């Protein structure tokens, strides 16, 4: 009798837990080539790439705030892909605790995390494929794209006949709004209502003075020698090769300087998350026309760790009076690789803001480099030390690596809006 009671107890617990699981049935949005002519992957995708393959996503909440994501195909019995135990809280816009004492830093930190792409890669062994399929799925990516709240993507990669991993299928979907709000508040211990309007409607925050003392304490400061290499062309490889078609103006680019003008136009990233050359994005890249001075600071970051901060002071090549500063700090030098020019795309790169994840990273890397442990920050500031929206200027963030032939030299590249191009290349004598 006692054994039966124990069995009944565990059954009740099991079914009680099952009943508490929340399931979200989400429709996918797929685009044909005609709907998405500016797709940068058209020329480089899988030979059998599909525009219509998976019709829906089932998102299931598990214990400890982990989720399962299942992709279901249009045809019953065809390929199904499952991602298990997703740590979705790490993909929510986050204000780390060390900035919460400052309402303005908290606000622009959260907004910038939503406005910058976070694409997480799951490789073999980290997803399950079942059902009938002839494709060799090698990777599945989940992305929170850099538009309004709730706009997410799934990308499926497969091995082509030549053995190369290429994009096979992509979809867009709306993250459940109530779940987003709940996860945001669990993650931040802050009311979502404070941020809702800006996150949902891409409303620019007010430009206010940024208090960098919240983020670091300066130990030493020195001016460093530098070389501006903007009179040369950047390597048009990898992402820059795929996205070259989305530089609307100028068309004939022979050097980075050609882009440092307010006439430069990039393809806009439009809802739900596609490039659109018919609605070009204006820039103010003349503000970064002339690099005047570079300072290096030895700092103790907000987490109490010694690191460095770089401040690049620019003068406009348009009016020679507009001053702009690019401040990059909380830099963990151990994360910056040593590379040759041909491998620059492997450099450390991240977006403007506070404690952001990189644009692209594996799930393993993400889980080893959590937001709460990330003291990195990057801002554009005006002459009065007020925050400038980097998207309006036309940049996404820095890419850094040490020179393979001389590791005293740090290469700092500036990624353009949507990483279509590089709009700055500077070699800094940091050691």
Q: Is 6 a domain residue?
A: no
**β-pair partners for 118:** 144
Residue 292 and residue 314 in contact, taking contact as beta carbons nearer than 8 Å: yes
* Structure token digits, residue 96: 């780390």
Nearest to 355 by CA among 195, 215, 208, 218: 215
Integer Cα distance of 417 and 392 in angstroms: 9
The domain of 67 spans 15-201
Out of 201, 227, 244, pick the residue that ends a domain.
201
Sheet holding 360-362: strands in order across? Answer: 165-174, 151-159, 137-144, 118-123, 360-362
Of 357, 387, 425, 288, whose CA–CA distance to 90 is shortest?
357
- The three-state secondary structure class of 331 is strand
The pLDDT-based confidence of 417 (bands split at 50, 70, 90) is: very high
Residue 405 lies in a domain: yes
Torsions phi, psi for 337 (to 5 deg): -80, 165
Which residues face 349 on adjacent strands?
399
Please report the pLDDT score of residue 76 as a whole number.
87
Report strand pairing: 306-315 vs 290-301.
antiparallel
- 363-416, pLDDT tens digit by residue? 999 999 999 999 999 999 999 999 999 999 999 999 999 999 999 999 999 999
d(CA 303, CA 98): 8
Pair 146, 231 in one domain: no
Same domain assignment for residues 257 and 179: no
- Kindly tell me if the per-residue pLDDT of 266 is higher than 90: yes
Structure confidence at residue 20 (pLDDT): 60
Q: Is residue 240 predicted with pLDDT exceeding 70? A: yes
Instruction: Kindly give the pairing relationship between strand 274-282 and strand 406-416.
Output: unpaired
- Single residue among 166, 201, 236 that ends a domain in this structure: 201
Query: Within a domain: residue 76?
Result: yes
Q: What is the pLDDT of residue 15?
A: 46
- Of 223, 282, 291, residue with least CA distance to 257: 291
Distance from C-alpha of 99 to C-alpha of 107, rounded to nearest angstrom: 10
Number of domains in the chain: 2
Residues 90 and 46 occupy one common structural domain: yes
pLDDT digits 0-9 by tens, 95-148: 999 999 999 999 999 999 999 999 999 999 999 999 999 899 999 999 999 999
| Residue 219 shares a structural domain with residue 195 | no
Phi/psi of residue 378, nearest 5 degrees: -150, 130
- Whether 188 and 288 map to the same domain: the answer is no
Give the domain-ending residue among 141, 173, 201: 201
| Torsion angles phi and psi, residue 122, rounded to 5 | -115, 125
The one-character DSSP state at 264 is -
CB 57 within 8 A of CB 70: yes
CA 95 from chain centre, in angstroms, equals 16
User: Taking residues 45-68, what's their average pLDDT?
Assistant: 93
Residues 186 and 221 in one domain: no
State the pLDDT confidence band at 5, using cuts at 50, 70 and 90: low
Is 354 in the same domain as 425? Answer: yes
* Per-residue pLDDT, 63: 80
């Amino acid at each position: 009798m006692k054994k039966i009671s124990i069995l009944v107890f565990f059954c009740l617990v099991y079914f009680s837990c099952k009943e508490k699981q929340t399931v979200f049935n989400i429709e996918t949005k797929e685009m044909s080539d005609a709907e998405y002519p500016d797709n940068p992957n058209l020329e480089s995708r899988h030979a059998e790439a599909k525009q219509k393959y998976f019709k829906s996503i089932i998102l299931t909440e598990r214990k400890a705030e982990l989720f399962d994501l299942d992709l279901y195909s249009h045809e019953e019995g065809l390929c199904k892909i499952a991602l298990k135990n997703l740590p979705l809280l790490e993909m929510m816009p986050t204000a780390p605790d060390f900035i919460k004492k400052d309402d303005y830093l908290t606000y622009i930190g959260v907004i910038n995390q939503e406005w910058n792409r976070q694409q997480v890669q799951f490789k073999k062994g980290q997803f399950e494929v079942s059902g009938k399929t002839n494709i060799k799925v090698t990777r599945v990516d989940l992305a929170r794209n850099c538009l309004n709240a709730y706009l997410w993507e799934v990308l499926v990669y497969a091995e082509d006949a030549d053995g190369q991993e290429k994009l096979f299928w992509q979809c867009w979907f709306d993250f459940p709004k109530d779940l987003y709000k709940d996860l945001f508040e669990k993650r931040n211990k802050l009311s979502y209502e404070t941020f809702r309007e800006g996150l949902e409607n891409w409303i620019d925050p007010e430009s206010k003075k940024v208090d960098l003392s919240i983020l670091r304490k300066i130990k030493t400061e020195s001016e460093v020698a530098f070389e501006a290499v903007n009179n040369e062309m950047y390597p048009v490889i990898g992402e820059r090769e795929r996205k070259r078609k989305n530089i609307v103006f100028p068309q004939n680019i022979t050097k980075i300087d050609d882009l440092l003008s307010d006439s430069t136009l990039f393809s806009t990233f439009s809802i739900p998350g596609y490039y659109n050359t018919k609605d070009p994005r204006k820039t103010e890249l003349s503000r970064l026309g002339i690099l005047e001075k570079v300072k290096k600071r030895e700092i103790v970051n907000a987490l109490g760790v010694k690191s460095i901060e770089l401040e690049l002071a620019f003068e406009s090549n348009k009016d020679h009076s507009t001053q702009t500063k690019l401040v990059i700090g909380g830099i963990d030098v151990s994360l910056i690789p040593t590379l040759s020019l041909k491998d620059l795309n492997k450099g450390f790169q991240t977006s403007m803001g506070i404690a952001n994840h990189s644009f692209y990273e594996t799930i393993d890397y993400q889980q080893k480099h959590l937001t709460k442990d990330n003291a990195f920050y990057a801002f554009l500031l005006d002459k009065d030390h007020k925050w400038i929206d980097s998207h309006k200027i036309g940049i996404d963030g820095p890419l850094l690596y040490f020179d393979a032939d001389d590791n005293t030299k740090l290469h700092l590249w500036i990624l353009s809006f949507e990483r279509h191009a590089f709009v700055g290349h500077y070699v800094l004598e940091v050691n």
